[in-house]
């Protein structure tokens, strides 16, 4: 009898009633939600014990499980699965915009300090410093050039005492 609610015949009287979701489906969804909750907790415990190492994936996995749970709730408990597609679209659009807001704000807060990896001195000043260094090196260059100990025509050294 509950299965009949799936067919459109129940709605042909012109009034848009609630879709009646079979109890079995509701219970299955409930079971899935409980399982996922347990999974989240168990994963958390394992990670603390050191049984598994999710590392950087820790938060994405937790958020993923939470997302699946939220989707199940929206689809079955909120009956969006049986509603007009437009409602599902509107619902998911609002989620999309929330995600957009978070992601773009994260682009800021997550990379805030990267400015400071570059030196504070302006580039023209840095170029000038580099130029000065180069000039100084060039000025010092002769002093460091290798001098032959004995020049061919050095009579003072060759001359015997």
Partner 1 sequence: MSTVTTAPAPAKTSAAPAHPPGHEPVHNYLLEPGPGPDVKGFARVWPTVKAWATTVDHKRIGVMYLFTVSVFFAIAGCAALLVRAELMNPDMDFLTADEYNRMFTLHGVMMVFLFIVPSIPASLGNFALPIMLGAKDVAFPKLNLMSYYIFLAGASLAVYAILSGGIDTGWTFYTPYSDTTNTAVLPMTMAVFVAGFASILTGINFIVTIHKMRAPGLTWNRLPLFIWALYAVSIVQVLATPVIGITMVLLAMERLVGIGIFDPALGGDPVLFQHFFWFYSHPAVYIMILPAFGVISELMGTFSRQRVFGYRAIALSSVAIAMLGFLVWGHHMFVSGQSPLSSIVFSVITFLIGVPSGIKILNWVATMYKGSVWLTAAMLYSLAFIFLFTIGGLTGIMVGALAVDIHLHDTYFVVAHFHYVMMGGTVFAMIGALFYWWPKMFGRMMSETWGRISAGVTFFGFNMTFFTQFILGSQGMPRRYFTYLPEYHDLHQVSTVGSWFLGLGLLMVLFNMIWSLFKGKPAPGNPWGAATLEWTHTTSPPDHHNFHRTPLVTHGPYDYDVLFSGDGYGGDGAGTPAPVPNPEVGGPQEMGKSVDLGLSQPKPKHD
Question: Considering only residues 107, 131, 133, 158, which one is a binding residue for partner 1 as defined by CB under 8 A?
Answer: 107
How many Å apart are CA 91 and CA 85, to the nearest integer?
Answer: 10
Q: Is 94 in the site for partner 1 (CB under 8 A)?
A: yes
Among 41, 101, 126, 127, binds partner 1 (CB under 8 A): 101
Written as six digits, the tokens of 64 are: 């993923």
Among the listed residues 40, 46, 75, the one whose alpha carbon sits nearest the alpha carbon of residue 60 = 40
Among the residue ranges 23-31, 64-72, 106-114, 145-153, the one whose residues contact partner 1 (CB under 8 A): 106-114
In 3D, which of 49, 72, 73, 46 has the Cα closest to residue 61? 46
By CB under 8 A, tell whether 109 contacts partner 1. Answer: yes
Please, which residue, 100 or 131, has the CB nearer to partner 1? 100
CA pair distance 20, 23, nearest whole angstrom? 9
One character per residue 14-33, x = contact with partner 1 (rule: CB under 8 A): --------------------
Cα-Cα end-to-end distance for the chain: 129
55 backbone φψ class: left, alpha, beta (φ>0; ψ -120 to 50)? left
The distance of closest approach from Cβ of residue 75 to partner 1 in the complex, given in angstroms and rounded to an integer, is: 22
Contact 78, 92 (CB under 8 A): no
Tell me, by CB under 8 A, how many residues bind partner 1.
17
Supply the DSSP string of 129-160, one letter for each residue.
HHHHHHHHHHHHHHHHSPPPSS-TT-HHHHS-
Find the binder of partner 1 among 55, 112, 149, 159 (CB under 8 A): 112
Instruction: Report if residue 123 touches partner 1, rule: CB under 8 A.
Output: no
Instruction: Choose which of 73, 97, 131, 132 interacts with partner 1 (CB under 8 A).
Output: 97
Residues making contact with partner 1 (CB under 8 A): 86, 93-94, 97, 100-101, 104-105, 107-115
């Amino acid at each position: 009898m509950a299965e009949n609610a799936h067919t459109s015949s129940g709605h042909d009287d012109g009034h848009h009633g609630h879709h009646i979701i079979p109890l079995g489906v509701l219970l299955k969804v409930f079971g899935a939600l409980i399982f996922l909750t347990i999974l989240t907790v168990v994963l958390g415990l394992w990670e603390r014990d050191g049984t598994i190492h999710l590392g950087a994936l820790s938060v994405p996995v937790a958020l993923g499980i939470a997302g699946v749970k939220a989707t199940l709730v929206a689809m079955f408990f909120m009956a969006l699965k049986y509603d007009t597609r437009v409602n599902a679209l509107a619902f998911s659009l609002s989620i999309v915009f929330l995600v957009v807001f978070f992601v773009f704000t994260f682009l800021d807060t997550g990379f805030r300090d990267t400015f400071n990896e570059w030196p504070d001195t302006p580039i023209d000043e840095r170029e000038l410093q580099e130029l000065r260094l180069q000039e100084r090196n060039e000025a010092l260059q002769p002093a460091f050039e290798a001098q032959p100990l004995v020049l061919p025509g050095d009579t003072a050294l060759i001359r015997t005492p």
